[in-house]
Amino acid sequence: MSNPNFIDYVKFNSRSGNGGPGCLHFHREKFIDKGGPDGGDGGRGGHVILRGNAQMWTLLHLKFRKHIFAENGEAGQSQNCTGAFGKDVILDVPLGTIAKRAETGEIICEISQDGQEIILAPGGRGGKGNAHFATPTNQAPQHAQTGEPGIDEWIILELRILADVGLVGFPNAGKSTLLSVVSAAKPKIADYAFTTLTPNLGVVAYRDNQSFVMADIPGIIEGAAEGKGLGIRFLKHIERNSLLLFLIPADAKDIRQEFEILLNELKKYNPELLDKKRLLAITKSDLLDEELKEAIKKEVPNEIPSVFISSIANQGIVELKDLIWRNLKD
């Protein structure tokens, strides 16, 4: 995943096509001066459709498309011929994309499966031709319906990445380093806060050709739920993870306190996040001897499974994978 190209929010004006008008026409041919009504129906306006695409991971392709209009339906024709339908506009989006109405914030739909298609804005129905309005008492109707207008509104698309495991921790807790060790992902790694500015995804290989997806979320700081640091912009990505892996470095002043701060930020953002399974990894544990590990174990919260790891020294990585896999299967 290339950081500069990761776009998880776009806003555009969506307009489905108008339905075509019905036709007002009477049948005419040689020796038939007063044939009956034969005006055809107007064509349906084009839909605006969202389609899930598992090969996509960003909304970058929609960033500069501020107006997305479908075609209008064509007018009905004589001889009961229906007008052509307006051409649909199909927008491919990554899995985990949510569509909302910009004015109200109402969620319209969510794309979660590859190939899934949902009509974001249906096209207007075509008007009926005058052939529909013939009756025994009115055999020459002089009217036909106009087509229905399409839907014109501003739409917001938000991408919330789908991953099995979400990495949660303060900046510089070792999340990106862990992801680079257990997967082929190449996130930016440096010894300063907020190295990671966009989420990174990696596929972690496990035994017997099995695998799971891990997401490196930009670091959380105290007050993130109120918008501090990178704020809630990336907290939303945690909502789609099946399991949360908390990472706290071994050299932290108070491991339990750091864990409680992280947990509190998730609770303030969305209390439902506390219902997800949680694991704890003590990173940079190559700095510890056995005596220090025993001392830290007393600080670790008892209610959460934990493991000591070192991504640089490749310590505890196999045990961490086993722990994650067991919890994902449960």
Give the pLDDT of residue 81: 93
Does 169 lie in the same domain as 147?
Answer: no
Whether this prediction's pTM lies above 0.85 is answered by: no
pLDDT surpasses 90 at 149: yes
Does 239 lie in the same domain as 114?
Answer: no
Average pLDDT (217-232) is 54
How far is residue 270's CA from residue 268's CA, in Å, rounded to a whole number? 6
- Helix then strand then coil, in percent of the chain rounded to 5, is 25, 25, 50
Q: Which of 59-63, 99-103, 224-228, 239-243 has the highest mean pLDDT?
A: 99-103
pLDDT surpasses 90 at 74: yes
Final residue belonging to a domain, choices 159, 180, 206: 159
Does 220 lie in the same domain as 154?
Answer: no
Does 176 lie in the same domain as 144?
Answer: no
pLDDT surpasses 80 at 177: yes
Give the pLDDT of residue 232: 54
Final residue belonging to a domain, choices 108, 124, 159: 159
pLDDT over 70 percentage in the chain: 87
311: closest CA among 247, 262, 254?
247
How far is residue 301's CA from residue 32's CA, in Å, rounded to a whole number? 92
pLDDT surpasses 80 at 322: yes
Give the pLDDT of residue 286: 86
pLDDT surpasses 70 at 169: yes
Q: Lowest-pLDDT range, 73-82, 88-97, 172-181?
A: 172-181
pLDDT surpasses 80 at 239: no
Q: Lowest-pLDDT range, 215-224, 249-258, 289-298?
A: 215-224
CATH number (domain holding residue 292) = 3.40.50.300
Strand partners of residue 213:
203
Does 280 lie in the same domain as 227?
Answer: yes
Does 276 lie in the same domain as 229?
Answer: yes
Asked whether 21 and 1 are in contact (CB, 8 A), the reply is no
Does 15 lie in the same domain as 112?
Answer: yes
How far is residue 246's CA from residue 288's CA, in Å, rounded to a whole number? 19
Q: How many domains is the chain built from?
A: 2
Give the pLDDT of residue 189: 45
Label residue 193 by pLDDT band (50, 70, 90): very low
Does 179 lie in the same domain as 93?
Answer: no
Does 153 lie in the same domain as 238?
Answer: no
Q: Which of 133-142, 160-169, 181-190 has the highest mean pLDDT?
A: 133-142
pLDDT surpasses 60 at 223: no
Label residue 229 by pLDDT band (50, 70, 90): very low
Label residue 166 by pLDDT band (50, 70, 90): confident
Label residue 233 by pLDDT band (50, 70, 90): low
Give the pLDDT of residue 284: 87
Does 99 lie in the same domain as 242?
Answer: no
Does 200 lie in the same domain as 67?
Answer: no
Final residue belonging to a domain, choices 126, 159, 192: 159
Considering the chain, what is the average pLDDT of its residues? 84
Give the pLDDT of residue 290: 83
State which amino acid sits at residue 110: E
65: closest CA among 121, 9, 11, 127?
11
Q: Which residue has the higher pLDDT, 238 or 128?
A: 128
pLDDT surpasses 70 at 42: yes
Range of the domain at 60: 1-159
pLDDT surpasses 90 at 234: no
How far is residue 95's CA from residue 114's CA, in Å, rounded to a whole number? 7
Give the pLDDT of residue 76: 93
Does 110 lie in the same domain as 59?
Answer: yes
CATH number (domain holding residue 15) = 2.70.210.12
